[in-house]
Amino acid sequence: MKKTTVYIWMSTMVVLSVALFSGITFFDLAPTLKPIVAAANPAGGEPEFRLSIYGSFEAPLDKPMDVTKIGENIYVTDTKNNQIQVFDQSGNTVLKFGKEGTKKGEFQFPYGIAGDQAENIYVADLYNGNISIFSSKGEFIKYFPDKNKAIQSPGGLRIYDEKLYVTDIKSNKLLVFNLEGKKLMEIGGAGQDEGKFIAPNAVAVDRDKQIYVTDSGNNRVQVFDEAGKFLKVINGSKDGKGAPLFVNPRGVAIDSNGTVYVVSNLSHNIYAYDKDGNEVRVLGGMGTDNGKLYLPNGLYIDDRDAIFVTDTINQRVSVFY
């Protein structure tokens, strides 16, 4: 091969690589590409306990209620301390923000937490009855613009495809907004019927855009289609029709295979079900050892199928993958 041909090929490769990566950066394609890469290179095998995040010795977590991953950092609502703690993936403290109170940037019961594409942080406060939006540096930007005051007592909070999903515990509803604050959908109302809730505590959306709502007071998870039509109940019994296995279910999340994970708070377990509703595994169990849980609550599964669970009495977030 001629020398010049080699140089031409080499520079073409450099130009194409630069074009690819600048394309990803400028068009903000990273969040779209990551799941595809993750799916092409699955972790595989049974999820096992990997690590726990406790916070620093001076500022340990106290009653952590929910967890999410935004970018490459892990965000935890440190509820009893009325703050948010941010960790890197090995559990080192990156940032803490928030304090007790009712004003901007203050909390009385920080609960559901989620991030948007710009990596802004949304925090639901159950007692203050609002959702605060912070920059990724922890600076208060604004309250979520809920003009008609549809949100009274927000619990579970997730953002999928630029849509904000929030459960309202006292009004027993799931509310869906666009990020400009326009209400797009509402499911629920008090009751035991299909499509009704008692104290819904968590929400998740799978890749088929089905919506999963933890109906804590009725000891079940209800599944809805994208338009909010009731599809089925998951409660640990066959077909969801028998007596519930869950006791005070809380966090819910779906991995890349469509396996649904549900935290059963008072039985200290995470139950996992495949698409046909068969139980595939149980994680946790009551205790203080590694991999055990004591009154677990919030659940988040990232795009690499790592499972994050808040363990309220053990004052930690445990990670399984």
For binding to another protein (CB under 8 A), which residues are involved? 63, 65, 100, 108-109, 111, 126-127, 153, 155, 169-172, 189-193, 196, 198-199, 201, 216-217, 243-245, 247-248, 250, 265-268, 286, 294-295, 312-313
Of 139, 131, 211, residue with least CA distance to 179: 131
DSSP label at residue 218? G
- For residue 109, the minimal CB distance to another protein (Å) is 6
Of 113, 109, 106, residue with least CA distance to 157: 113
N residues, the chain: 321
- For residue 201, the minimal CB distance to another protein (Å) is 6
Of 132 and 219, nearer to another protein (C-beta) is: 219
Q: Which residues contact 145 (CB under 8 A, 6 or more apart)?
A: 180, 181
Of 179 and 286, nearer to another protein (C-beta) is: 286
Question: Using N-to-C axis directions, what is the helix angle for 30-40 and 3-26, rounded to 10°?
Answer: 110
Of 99 and 207, nearer to another protein (C-beta) is: 99
- Residue 293 CA to residue 295 CA, distance in Å, equals 6
Of 51 and 286, nearer to another protein (C-beta) is: 286
Of 185 and 266, nearer to another protein (C-beta) is: 266
Of 89, 133, 102, 129, residue with least CA distance to 115: 133
- For residue 268, the minimal CB distance to another protein (Å) is 8
- For residue 158, the minimal CB distance to another protein (Å) is 17
Of 68 and 81, nearer to another protein (C-beta) is: 81
What phi and psi values does residue 164 have, to the nearest 5 degrees?
-100, 125
At residue 35, the 3 state secondary structure works out as helix
Of 21 and 127, nearer to another protein (C-beta) is: 127
- For residue 79, the minimal CB distance to another protein (Å) is 9
- For residue 263, the minimal CB distance to another protein (Å) is 12
> Residue with structure tokens 């892990």?
74
257: Cα separation from own chain's centroid: 17
The two structure tokens encoding residue 318: 């445990």
- For residue 57, the minimal CB distance to another protein (Å) is 20
Q: Which residues contact 240 (CB under 8 A, 6 or more apart)?
A: 220, 232, 233, 234, 277
46: Cα separation from own chain's centroid: 21
Q: Is 237 exposed, middle or buried (0-12, 13-18, 19+ CB in 10 A)?
A: middle
Of 32 and 288, nearer to another protein (C-beta) is: 288
- Residue 212 CA to residue 91 CA, distance in Å, equals 29
